[in-house]
Amino acid sequence: MHLTTEEEHIYDGEEGWAYQTAMRILVKLGDLFGATHLIPIESAHISGVSYKTMGDAAIEFVEALAQAGAKAKVPSTINPAGLDYNRLTEMPVSSKVKEKQAKIISLYRTMGINPILTCTPYYIKKPAQGVHVAWAESSTVIYANSILDAWTNREGGPSALAAALIGKTPDYGMHRPENRKANIAVKVETELENEAQYGALGAYLGKTLKDKIPAFEGLAHPREEDLKQLGAALASTGMTSIFYPCQSCPKSVKRLETVRVGRDELKESMESLSTTDEQPDMVYIGCPHCSFSEVKRVAETIEGRKVKNDVKLWVCTSRYVKERAEFDVATIEAAGGKVVSDTCAVVTWLKKLGVDTLMTNSAKTAYYAPTMNKVKVRFGSLRECIDAACTR
Ligand code: F3S
């Protein structure tokens, strides 16, 4: 990979160990994937924030960077942590775990990284179309490429952090126009009625297409949250980082090999995302974190109803959205639900909250929770989730 003189100085350690380490991570990645040079990025979004998923070795690495004086060169943000900082006393973990989690956030803050603790940073600030960014968190990445037209590879926590510290990323993969073209057409031959069905479609296709880039025909009028669910699931069960939901697909797509998805495939995928039909002890909406309109939809669905005494209802969103959706938050909480920020059901300690059976409208959560959280999962639409949570 070609480096400028300034980049070579950083690589050789002339600006200190932290920047040298960050530069070496980027160069190693670039060499591995055939990048020719580094390109400037507008922002970075870093995953690997929850102490539950991060562990002590990763903390030591971040601490070493922070102590060496590393600072982000571009606006940078972080994914959800393991705890809701508005509800710290309700979180059933030891004070040692709370300290470790607080330390992780404080290390990122020391490096000038904004601790927004959400996987939907784009509801706070949308990148401009066509800009290069270095984002981690697969649901955030696929949303950036497909919905926002912001160009990013699927970074891991360390490479996104390295990119934040250097302000650049290697020019390969999704940063090159030739790698962003659709290479398979998907014809959806059944009507999709809700966000859960869009997620089930994504989960089915992720397994089938692996890292292919699909262009969809036949998605009637998807809402933004439907596409968010589709992308999050597609990127969970497969490696795709971009998809095209075309209303009317261009001729180039019509010439591609076509995969057809009908009612049977959708039903099979919906069923495969449930491991139980038992009553849930937690109902979870908000993977990826809810938008304003999703919080509103939950409020409209639950208004005047009551959450069962033995069920927890979590609606996860960013602190930014929660603070600005006061009216809807009040409606949800009056019904007995909790609007939770800074964390999510997957990256917190669900078992310690007494959860054995989780119900969700997120195909991504339904896919991961049985292994990551060791819980049984029921998958259904938002309405079905609220019906299961409420007494009537
Ligand atoms: Fe976000 Fe947690 Fe889902 S980080 S994408 S809400 S698993």
- Supply the residue whose CA is at minimum distance from atom 3 of ligand 1: 287
Cα three-residue angle 188-190-193, rounded to 5 degrees: 110
If asked whether residues 315 and 205 sit together in one domain, one would say: no
Sheet bearing 312-317, strands edge to edge = 338-341, 312-317, 282-290, 357-360, 376-379
8 Å CB contact between 217 and 245: no
What residue type is 319 in one-letter code? Answer: R
If asked whether residues 27 and 117 sit together in one domain, one would say: yes
Residue 241's nearest CA partner among 193, 183, 289 is 183
If asked whether residues 158 and 243 sit together in one domain, one would say: no
Per-residue tens of pLDDT for the chain, all 392 residues: 999 999 999 999 999 999 999 999 999 999 999 999 999 999 999 999 999 998 899 999 999 999 999 999 999 999 999 999 999 989 999 999 999 999 999 999 999 999 999 999 999 999 999 999 999 999 999 999 999 999 999 999 999 999 999 999 999 999 999 999 999 999 999 999 999 999 999 999 999 998 999 999 888 889 999 999 999 999 999 999 999 998 777 888 888 999 999 999 999 999 999 999 999 999 999 999 999 999 999 999 999 999 999 999 999 999 999 999 999 999 999 999 999 999 999 999 999 999 999 999 999 999 999 999 999 999 999 999 999 999 97
Beta-bridge partners for 317: 290, 341
8 Å CB contact between 43 and 132: no
If asked whether residues 260 and 243 sit together in one domain, one would say: yes
- Measure the CA–CA gap between 21 and 19, rounded to whole angstroms: 5
Domain CATH number, residue 87: 3.30.499.10
Ligand 1 atom closest to residue 345's alpha carbon, by position in its atom list: 2
What residue type is 210 in one-letter code? Answer: K
**Beta strands 38-40 and 168-170, pairing class:** antiparallel
What residue has token string 């919905």? Answer: 147
Ligand 1, residues at Cβ distance < 6 Å: 79-80, 119, 139, 232, 287-289, 316, 344, 346-347, 364-365
**Distance from the first to the final alpha carbon of the chain:** 62
If asked whether residues 12 and 85 sit together in one domain, one would say: yes
If asked whether residues 215 and 356 sit together in one domain, one would say: no
Of 238, 272, 306, the residue at which a domain comes to its end is 272
120, 225, 289, best to mutate for ligand 1 pocket (most atoms within 8 Å of CB): 289
Does residue 125 lie in a domain region? yes
If asked whether residues 160 and 42 sit together in one domain, one would say: yes
Ligand 1 atom closest to residue 120's alpha carbon, by position in its atom list: 1
79 Cα: distance to centroid of ligand 1 (angstroms): 8
**What is the DSSP code (8-state) at residue 238?**
S
If asked whether residues 238 and 163 sit together in one domain, one would say: no
Percent of the chain as helix, strand, coil, to the nearest 5: 45, 15, 40
Does residue 260 lie in a domain region? yes
- Supply the residue whose CA is at minimum distance from atom 1 of ligand 1: 288
Residue 175's nearest CA partner among 147, 205, 155 is 155
Of 272, 303, 338, the residue at which a domain comes to its end is 272
47, 119, 349, best to mutate for ligand 1 pocket (most atoms within 8 Å of CB): 119
If asked whether residues 97 and 237 sit together in one domain, one would say: no
If asked whether residues 163 and 38 sit together in one domain, one would say: yes
8 Å CB contact between 392 and 385: no
pTM higher than 0.95, yes or no?
yes
If asked whether residues 166 and 314 sit together in one domain, one would say: no
255 Cα: distance to centroid of ligand 1 (angstroms): 36
Domain extent, residue 225, equals 181-272
Ligand 1 atom closest to residue 289's alpha carbon, by position in its atom list: 6
If asked whether residues 238 and 317 sit together in one domain, one would say: no
Q: How many domains does the chain have?
A: 3
